[in-house]
Amino acid sequence: MLGHGLPLDPQHLAEFLHGGPPGRFCRLSHLRPLVRLCSVEGEGGVGSQVFLEGVSKFYGGETALADIHLAFTDLVTTAVVGPSGSGKSTLLQLINGLIRPTRGKVSVFGNPIDYERLPQLRLRIGYAVQGTGLFPHLTVWENITLLARLARWEPERVRARGQDLMRLVDLPLSFERRYPYELSGGQQQRVGLCRAMILNPKIFLLDEPFGALDPMTRNEIHQEFLHLQKLEARTMILVTHDLREAPMALAAVFLLLLWPGRSAPAPQRTIVVGSKHFNEGYILSEILAQLLEDRGFAVDRKFGLGGTLICFDALRNGGIDLYPEYSGTLEQAVLKLPERVSYGELRRRLKSQFGLDLLDSFGFSNTYAIAVSRNLAEKLGLKRISDLSRLPGLRFGFSLEFLNRQDGWPGLARTYGLTVRPSGIEHGLAYQAIRENKLDLTDVYSTDGDIRKFDLILLEDDRHYFPDYLAAPLVRADVEEGAKRILGELAGTITETEMQELNGM
């Protein structure tokens, strides 16, 4: 629980942090060795939307937080100050539901966190993290407006709010189409702040979000947060190890000091999760990483490494511990098998040849498929690929890769007796061409997010031409068995339609 003292005096605070006399600060008698708390009395709301009741967080045999009892007062700012390793970020991750407590209960908005409904909770919380936490496969604009689009705001409202925030943090509007890797660290940090503020949430969690900003911009954003707090008060929790974060920290109504104890070293084993450099790879890897973190494992993310062979080599060489891969890709690109094999046989070969474990599939296959518009399919009664042979007048347009692969158009034409001459088209342009009635059908990947966006349907591969590309975690054998069991819980949990929705975000 937070105690009560006198208004914050920076001189006394500096003495306290540097081991000098505590001055007028209050140290609470009930604290465990891991932490010591100090609060400053001030004006603010009555009651609390955020509670931690007897919360402990352990990573294996190590302690990150021990038996914490906290109530964050509504509609005021609380600064959480402490050195690295004191549990500051862990505290915010618990509040945002990114990790679960080993013991105890976390309540937000007055209710215990429902871990089955985390997306709804996170739409109501602004969260700006260390290192930006941006999605590397999304543009600046897509990162900033992601939550607003998930909340189904009208496009005009999204546009107005997003541009206002970019102006606030001095990001040129011309940066909208850039990707995070094209920005400096400070610019990435500003994008993260915009994303946290987009929904104007009632709770802000700020995990050292200003470190990469230049002093002038940092001060401007500090002042803007304070101004917003005066206009419409909210519960704000700021984490920092640097009291130069003034005026944010020094304007806080409450101050919470976290101090590392002897029992809080970092976990011994960090699991490194990799990904390929495409949208679905990022999403699946983030799901794997968050699940492991939720169960107490420390995770390092190495996303966007490259294509199949780069990721596979990184896995074999120990650069990463796991990444999501596809059964068909492993058969053809890695093992170079002359014919298809069962999933069990594929597992056996990967284990015997490379010492790798292919876990159970997420539940969907991302293979080639043939897509047509829903309107055309209903008009012509198209349901299966074999139906195409009776409609020679249809306009076929395929990606150049699909046209030239033996397991693409050449084999498809032989299998289904198709004699038309398809045209070549850039994959990204085919959807728009179908929408504009310039094309009737094209090749797609079966979990492509644009399938739903452009209201297409996939024709049934009734002669089973396309191989399965079952998505699954591929893991080094020396990864802890407990981690593998946890990842195995994802087996069969994601359908093709659900993956389309995730890819279309």
Cα-based distances in Å from 269 to 76, 90, 272, 296, 398: 38, 17, 9, 11, 46
Nearest alpha-carbon partner for 504 in 82, 128, 137: 137
Same domain, 187 and 248: no
Please give the share of the chain, as a percent, with pLDDT higher than 90: 41
pLDDT band at residue 260, thresholds of 50, 70 and 90? low
In this prediction, residue 263 carries a pLDDT of 42
Strand order in the sheet with 356-358: 298-302, 270-274, 322-326, 471-476, 356-358
Q: Is 45 a residue whose pLDDT tops 70? A: no
Residue pLDDT, tens place only, 185-205: 778 888 888 888 888 888 888
- Return the pLDDT at 49: 80
Q: Check whether residue 374 and residue 436 sit in a common domain.
A: yes
Residue 28 has pLDDT above 70, yes or no: no
Higher pLDDT: 128 or 198? It is: 198
- Among 218, 247, 263, identify where a domain stops: 263
- Domain CATH for 394: 3.40.190.120
> Does residue 502 lie within any of the structural domains?
no
Q: Average the pLDDT over each of 128-132, 151-155, 174-178, 375-379 and give the range with the smallest value.
A: 128-132
Considering the domain architecture, whether residues 166 and 24 belong to the same structural domain is answered as no
Residues 210 and 75 placed together within one structural domain of the fold: yes
Taking each helix axis from N to C terminus, what angle separates 185-197 and 155-168, rounded to the nearest 10 degrees?
130
Q: What angle do CA 203, 37, 46 make, to 5 degrees?
A: 45
Q: Which of 336, 239, 315, 325 lies closest to 278, judged by CA?
A: 325
**Predicted confidence band at 60 (pLDDT cuts at 50, 70, 90)?**
low
Query: Of 200, 225, 252, which one is at a domain's C-terminal end?
Result: 200
- Do the bridges between strand 471-476 and strand 356-358 make them parallel or antiparallel, or are there none, so unpaired? antiparallel
Q: Name the band, by pLDDT with cuts 50, 70 and 90, for residue 29.
A: very low
Which H or E element spans position 140? helix 140-150
> How far is it, in rounded angstroms, from Cα 10 to Cα 176?
40
> CA 209 to CA 312: how far, in whole Å?
34
Same domain, 452 and 381: yes
Instruction: Residue 161: give the domain boundaries.
Output: 135-200
For 35-73, letters b (16+ CB in 10 Å) and e give: bbbbbbebeeeeeebbbbbebbbbbeeebbbbbbbbebb
Query: What pLDDT score does 257 carry?
Result: 59
Q: Report the alpha-carbon angle 246-247-253, nearest 5.
A: 110
Averaged pLDDT score across all residues of the chain: 81
Banded pLDDT at 407 (limits 50, 70, 90): confident
Residue 220 burial class via C-beta count within 10 angstroms: exposed 0-12, middle 13-18, buried 19 and up: middle
Which pLDDT does position 31 carry in this prediction?
29
Q: Report pLDDT for 492.
A: 92
- Token digits of residue 119: 């997306």
Highest mean pLDDT among 19-23, 26-30, 210-214, 218-222: 218-222
Query: In the predicted model, what is the mean pLDDT of residues 24-29?
Result: 28
Provide the pLDDT confidence category of residue 25 given band limits of 50, 70 and 90.
very low
**Model confidence at 302, in pLDDT bands (50, 70, 90)?**
very high
140 or 222, higher pLDDT: 140
Q: In what order do the strands lie in the sheet with 368-373?
A: 441-445, 368-373, 456-458
Does residue 92 form part of some domain? yes
> 257 - beta bridge partners?
81
* Residues contacting 476, CB < 8 A, separation 6+: 315, 318, 321, 322, 355, 356, 357
Are residues 386 and 445 located together in one domain of the fold? Answer: yes
For residue 503, being part of any structural domain is answered with no
Q: According to the model, what pLDDT value does residue 13 have?
A: 40
CB 469 within 8 A of CB 365: yes
Identify the residue whose tokens are 């976290």: 258
Q: Are residues 108 and 20 in the same domain?
A: yes
Q: Which pLDDT band, with edges at 50, 70 and 90, does 98 fall under? A: confident
| Per-residue model confidence as pLDDT tens digits over 75-94 | 777 878 777 777 888 888 89
> How far is Cα 349 from Cα 79, in angstroms, rounded to an integer?
54
DSSP 8-state code for residue 232: S
Number of domain units in the chain: 4
In a domain, residue 226? The reply is yes
Do 25 and 76 belong to one domain? yes
Q: Is residue 374 part of a domain?
A: yes
Summarize the confidence of residues 218-233 as an average pLDDT: 68
Q: Does 505 map to a domain?
A: no
Determine, yes or no, domain membership for 501. no
Residues 142 and 289 in one domain: no
Question: How many whole angstroms separate alpha carbon 481 and alpha carbon 371?
Answer: 41
Q: Identify the domain boundary among 263, 291, 315.
A: 263
Check pLDDT > 70 for residue 169. Answer: yes
**Which tens digit of pLDDT belongs to each residue from 445-463?**
999 988 988 999 999 999 9
Tens-digit pLDDT profile for residues 311-341? 999 999 999 999 999 999 999 889 999 888 9
The predicted structure's pLDDT at residue 88: 82
Residue 112 and residue 6 share a domain: yes
| Burial of residue 21, with CB atoms counted within 10 A of its CB: 0-12 exposed, 13-18 middle, 19 or more buried | exposed
Q: What is the predicted pLDDT for the residue at 86?
A: 76
d(C-alpha 162, C-alpha 177), whole Å:
13
Return the pLDDT at 207: 80
Of 60 and 495, more confident? 495
Same domain? 196 vs 175: yes
Q: Tell me, what's the pLDDT at 291? A: 87
What pLDDT does residue 375 have? 93
Residue 276 has pLDDT above 80, yes or no: yes
Q: Are residues 284 and 242 located together in one domain of the fold?
A: no
